[in-house]
């Protein structure tokens, strides 16, 4: 602030320019995610892609292996059961949340996969969630081909 402008804010509220950024945007899901979502919606199968080089199976599926820098060509079914590798219980109602707190987010390593899927847990008390617990997918009946075809994960029966 220059010396001549020193007293600009004496006795007045600083001006605020209020605005909002709202720009509609759509992302093409691409061939790998499209096949994954359609399979999920139509057959309730959770599919991963496997790398021929390192043998890793990626869920959610990726077209390329980030480790080997090669294209993943094989599709394999994983889950629907898996293991919680980490989790958190959100207690404060943050703006990004779509559910009322407490909300439980978890990384679920599906049986047959080598990378964990980020999702939500339900039908379980927050106090009972532990790293290492067995969970399984609970599916939604939906017309949408997207991740919401899995409603959440719940303790394995």
Q: Is the dihedral of CA 92, 94, 100, 103 positive or negative?
A: negative
Q: Is 128 an interacting residue with respect to another protein (CB under 8 A)?
A: no
- 83 with 133: CB under 8 angstroms? yes
Which candidate, 66, 45, 34, places its Cα nearest to that of 112? Answer: 45
- 122 with 154: CB under 8 angstroms? yes
Among 14, 22, 31, 69, binds another protein (CB under 8 A): 14
Q: Is 148 an interacting residue with respect to another protein (CB under 8 A)?
A: yes
Residue nearer to another protein on the CB measure, 19 or 157: 19
Smallest gap from residue 101 Cβ to another protein (A) = 9
Number of other CB atoms surrounding residue 153 within 10 Å = 28
Q: Is 121 an interacting residue with respect to another protein (CB under 8 A)?
A: no
Angle at 77 between CA 34 and CA 27, to 5 degrees: 15
Number of other CB atoms surrounding residue 47 within 10 Å = 21
Window 55-114: residues binding another protein (CB under 8 A)? 58-60, 66, 85-92, 94-99, 103, 105-107, 109
Smallest gap from residue 73 Cβ to another protein (A) = 19
By CB under 8 A, name the binding residues for another protein.
1, 8-9, 14, 16, 19, 21, 27, 29-30, 33, 58-60, 66, 85-92, 94-99, 103, 105-107, 109, 115-120, 126, 131, 146-148
């Amino acid at each position: 602030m220059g010396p001549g402008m020193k007293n600009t804010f004496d006795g007045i509220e600083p001006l605020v320019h209020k605005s909002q950024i709202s720009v509609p945007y759509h992302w093409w899901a691409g061939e790998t995610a499209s096949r994954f979502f359609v399979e999920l919606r139509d057959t309730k199968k959770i599919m991963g892609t496997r790398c021929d080089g390192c043998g890793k199976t990626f869920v959610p599926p990726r077209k390329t292996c980030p480790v080997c820098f090669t294209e993943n060509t094989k599709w394999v079914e994983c889950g629907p059961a898996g293991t919680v590798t980490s989790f958190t219980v959100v207690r404060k109602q943050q703006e990004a949340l779509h559910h009322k707190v407490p909300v439980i987010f978890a990384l679920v390593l599906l049986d047959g996969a080598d990378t964990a899927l980020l999702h939500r847990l339900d039908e379980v008390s927050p106090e009972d969630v532990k790293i290492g617990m067995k969970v399984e997918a609970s599916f939604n009946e939906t017309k949408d081909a997207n991740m919401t075809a899995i409603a959440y994960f719940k303790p394995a029966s």
